[in-house]
C-alpha cells in the first residue's frame, strides 16, 4: 500500500482520481500484485491512521529496496 501512496503523491492527484488512474494501468497493478483496485477510502484511511514514525520506517525500507534494486 505504501507504494501506491508514494505513486499518488508523485502524480499529485487526489485519492479518487488516483484510484481511477490505477484501474486503467495494468502494468502498475501487476507490479504491486493487485487483483483488484482498492477503494479510494482504503488509501485515505491508511494515511490518516498510520503513525508518522511507522510511516517513516516503512518509507525508508521501501526507498532502500528501490535504490538497491539494480545492484
Q: Give the pLDDT confidence of 38-48 residue by residue, as tens digits.
A: 888 888 888 88
pLDDT grade for 71, boundaries at 50, 70 and 90: low
DSSP state of 23: H
SS3 64: helix
User: What pLDDT does residue 28 have?
Assistant: 83
Q: Are 5 and 65 in contact (CB under 8 A)?
A: no
pLDDT grade for 17, boundaries at 50, 70 and 90: very high
Q: Are 38 and 31 in contact (CB under 8 A)?
A: no
Domain of residue 62: give its range: 2-68
The three grid cell numbers given for residue 26, joined into one nine-digit string: 495494468
The four Cα atoms 23, 65, 58, 48 give a dihedral, to 10 degrees, of -20
Q: Check pLDDT > 80 for residue 7.
A: yes
DSSP state of 12: T
DSSP state of 8: H
Number of domains the chain contains: 1
Amino acid at each position: 500500500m505504501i507504494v501506491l501512496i508514494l505513486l499518488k503523491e508523485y502524480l499529485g492527484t487526489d485519492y479518487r482520481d488516483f484510484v481511477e488512474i490505477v484501474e486503467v494501468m495494468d502494468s502498475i497493478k501487476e507490479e504491486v500484485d493487485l487483483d483488484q483496485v482498492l477503494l479510494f477510502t482504503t488509501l485515505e484511511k491508511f494515511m490518516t491512521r498510520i503513525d508518522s514514525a511507522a510511516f517513516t520506517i516503512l518509507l525508508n525500507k521501501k526507498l532502500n529496496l528501490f535504490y538497491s534494486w539494480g545492484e
